[in-house]
Amino acid sequence: MKRYIFHILLLATVLLTACHKNDATSANGYLQISVTRDDYTITKAVSDADAPYRIEITNSSGETVHSYDDHTTMPARLILPVGTYTVHAASHAPGAPTTGFDNPYYAGSQEVTVTQGTIRPVTVVCTLASVKMTVSYSQKILDNFTAYRATVTDGGGNSVTFGETETRAAYFLPGRLTISLSLTNTNGSSFTLPAEITDTQAQEYYNMTFDASDEGTGDDEGSGSFTISVDPSTNQHECTFRVPVYRSQPGIVWLDAGTAVKSGSQLDAYETRPRELVLSMKSDTSDIDESKKLTMQSLYLCLRSDYVQQTLGLSDSIDLMQADAATLQRLSDAGLAITGLASGTKEIHVDFNRFLQTSPVTTHRVSVSALNSKNLESVSALTLRVRSNSELVLDDVNPWARFAYVSGQYNTDSKPAGLRLEYKEKAASSWIKAPESVLSFTGNSFTAKLPGLEPNLTYVCRLNTDDADIEPTAETEFTTEDTPAIPNLDFESWSQSGKTWYPNADNANSYWATGNPGVNMSPINKESNTRPVEGEGNAVSGYGAYMISYSVAFVKYAAGNLFIGSFGKADGSVDIMDPIGNVKFGRPYTGRPTHLTGYYKYRTKAIDTNADKVPSGTANDVCHIYIRLWDAAGNELAYGEMTDDRTMDGFEPFDIELTYRDLTTPAATVTVVATTSKWGDQFAGGVGSELWVDEFALGFE
């Protein structure tokens, strides 16, 4: 057993004017934390001993009171109210992948009670929370197979493939591990062998060896054997999986009118042009006497679509070898003609022709898994897209405020002459042809971004051609979205209470907010560090917003900032012990803009506060302007940003383009942020850096 010890010192935000005497007489105590890493399973460290550990401290109610992404940047001590806490340490950030080569995941936690005026040491022991595995191939594998690889998948669906020369260790989630060994014989025959290890535990090490058996011939094969021996002193599991040298996997062939179709292909079918699609499966493809060939053990047909599961009521995975008479009859009624099903069968055929002729317009995803009597498996899949019999189809219209996304297709043998997308206002008499440049074709399908629309109007669109024998599509009606305004986006409205300025007209953080209420709690700050300015050099028109970074008590640094959201608690008070927790981004907003434009001027300063929290090599402060949209579920919908580290002579325009993760989901919340320091949330930057902004506007084109 080998331990690497990392010392992590945590410190909460404290008042700069506080002293040790005051701390000792308040209802607070101290935590001094160390973390040890227990390498019980790993005999050689994979990750650097100085790699950052994430620290999270929760109270007795399970609420997180402090968290740190990198222990190497932690301050010296942590002051907490008396009570019981749990300290959690983890080697990976939340959401980071914990499966893969050289990627061990360590985690641990320790409960501790903080008492008044005392320093409480606590040690968190982090142990391996993963399952370790290495793979090797014996000389017999190398001698008898020309290609080989093993794919291991854990219960979370995470897969790692060990190639022929792979020597690295991989790490997986504990639980069931499924193994797929792919082999190619010297005669060119390829097959896949399945295996699994159930109920693996964290800290276990599986040393997997794949070996070949000398037993068996082409017509007399033994099944693969799987043995595991365990050394409890090291938690190491020695695993050996042996396979016969001579094997023959099932053969699966898709035939379209007698022509072989490659697995993974997509086929289109129409009632006016039916396909003669047959799935042919043989249990054994070896070149031996027919009487000695393997038989079919199971044959899973996976046919997935809403039509199959919801309309026909069929399961998405059916073992045809074990299906009862009622299930087979329902498959026949659906149009699937299956022949060759019998005990000891060696060949089975499934004819899809009638199924495709009777299916509605939809997409079916078909896969088949064939397993023969020696547990040799083959898999294959196709995508079957049943298309409309109409020669022109307008599939979908997704309207925004000033444009619409449109998709469609033509079902003729070649692209019709003069194929075009037409649109008009619903009440208009004449059609407008969309520019050909906005249509992008993939095969016989297209997508388009229809431009030149106005907000809150109802339009119709259709597909048309120059061919008089081809009917245009029916008119598809749609209504464009609104372009709702954001209050005070030009920064003309301001109000003041005492020395605190608000970028709203009501002496409150009612839509826009700043950190002014927190900054102005310090008596050394004579005025807000975000405030209105006017005149040449300060604003483009009327009033503009001016921001400057201050040196302040409590957190040492406060970037000038302006954002859509709120600052402080619901009652308007400010929690000085949780500066970041005072900031809440976002206000209700239903528009979907594509751009944020405006004007800015920046004067950077050398970074002089908390320089260890900015990227290495960064000398000067960086201003940051960004816009973010969320959907109703709180998921990020769109984002756009700009940064600059220059000292500028005058205002310059900017144009931020939003990138949308989802083009169909409506927006529910928006924030726009401008700040003198990109790292203001880390209380890092250059004191005295200045940012002026004015005349922000949203674009919807």
432 three-class SS: strand
Residue 50's pLDDT is what?
55
Residue 201 reports pLDDT greater than 50? yes
Residue 109's pLDDT is what?
92
pLDDT band at 579 (very low <50, low <70, confident <90, very high): low
- Tell me which of 22-31, 213-222, 227-236, 579-588 is least confident: 213-222
Residue 386's pLDDT is what?
85
Residue 531 reports pLDDT greater than 90? yes
- Does residue 56 contact residue 9 with C-beta atoms inside 8 Å? no
- Tell me which of 110-114, 199-203, 224-228, 637-641 is least confident: 224-228
- Tell me which of 182-191, 394-403, 413-422 is least confident: 182-191
More confident residue, 275 or 203: 203
Per-residue pLDDT tens digits for 631-677? 999 999 999 999 999 999 999 999 999 999 999 999 999 999 999 99
DSSP state letters, 500-515 = EEESSSSSS-SSEE-S
Count of C-beta atoms within a 10 Å radius of residue 17: 9
Residue 254, beta-bridge partner list: 261, 279
Instruction: Write the CB contacts of 531 (distance below 8 Å, at least 6 apart in sequence).
Output: 494, 501, 516, 545, 546
Residue 93's pLDDT is what?
86
Residue 74's pLDDT is what?
67
pLDDT, mean of residues 224-230: 67
Q: What percent of the chain has pLDDT over 90?
A: 58
- Which numeric CATH code is attached to 495-699? 2.60.120.890
Residue 11's pLDDT is what?
31
Residue 582 gets the label, from left (phi > 0), alpha (psi -120 to 50) or beta, of alpha
Residue 18's pLDDT is what?
35
Run of H or E including 417: none
Architecture per CATH, domain 392-479, reads as Sandwich (2.60)
Mean pLDDT, the chain, as a whole number? Answer: 86
Indicate the residue type of 589. Answer: Y
Residue 424's pLDDT is what?
97
DSSP state letters, 457-495 = -EEEEEEE-S-TTSPPPPPEEEEPPP-PPPTTTT----E
Residue 136 reports pLDDT greater than 60? yes
pLDDT band at 418 (very low <50, low <70, confident <90, very high): very high
Residue 117's pLDDT is what?
84
Residue 333's pLDDT is what?
94
pLDDT, mean of residues 76-100: 88
Per-residue pLDDT tens digits for 275-328? 788 989 888 777 667 777 888 999 999 999 999 999 999 999 999 999 999 999
- Which numeric CATH code is attached to 262-274+289-386? 2.60.40
- Tell me which of 44-48, 119-123, 632-636, 689-693 is least confident: 44-48
662 three-class SS: coil
pLDDT band at 24 (very low <50, low <70, confident <90, very high): very low
- The position carrying tokens 């003041």 is 496
The domain locations on the chain are 3-128, 131-244, 262-274+289-386, 392-479, 495-699
pTM, two decimal places: 0.51
CATH for 131-244, options being 2.40.50, 1.20.120, 2.60.40, 3.30.1490: 2.60.40
More confident residue, 600 or 119: 600
- Which numeric CATH code is attached to 3-128? 2.60.40.10
Sign of the dihedral defined by the CA atoms of residues 138, 141, 143, 146, in that order:
negative
pLDDT, mean of residues 56-83: 85
Which alpha helices (DSSP H) does 529-683 contain, by range? none
pLDDT, mean of residues 595-623: 95
Residue 599's pLDDT is what?
98
Per-residue pLDDT tens digits for 484-521? 999 999 999 999 998 899 999 998 888 999 988 887 77
pLDDT band at 360 (very low <50, low <70, confident <90, very high): confident
Residue 388's pLDDT is what?
75
Residue 369 reports pLDDT greater than 80? yes
Residue 451's pLDDT is what?
95
| Alpha-carbon span 680 to 659, nearest angstrom | 24
223 three-class SS: coil
131-244 and 392-479 agree in CATH topology: yes
What does the radius of gyration of the chain's CA atoms come to, in whole angstroms? 34
Residue 219 reports pLDDT greater than 70? no
Give the chain's end-to-end CA distance (angstroms, integer): 63
Residue 32's pLDDT is what?
82
Residue 49's pLDDT is what?
41
| Alpha-carbon span 142 to 100, nearest angstrom | 25
Query: Token pair for residue 33?
Result: 């934390």
pLDDT, mean of residues 4-15: 33
More confident residue, 120 or 101: 101
- Tell me which of 266-270, 310-314, 599-603 is least confident: 266-270
Residue 572's pLDDT is what?
66
| Alpha-carbon span 640 to 624, nearest angstrom | 11
pLDDT, mean of residues 592-615: 96
pLDDT, mean of residues 408-433: 93
Residue 523's pLDDT is what?
67
pLDDT band at 190 (very low <50, low <70, confident <90, very high): confident
- Does residue 696 contact residue 679 with C-beta atoms inside 8 Å? no
DSSP state letters, 389-413 = SSSEEEEEEEE-SS-EEEEEEE-SS
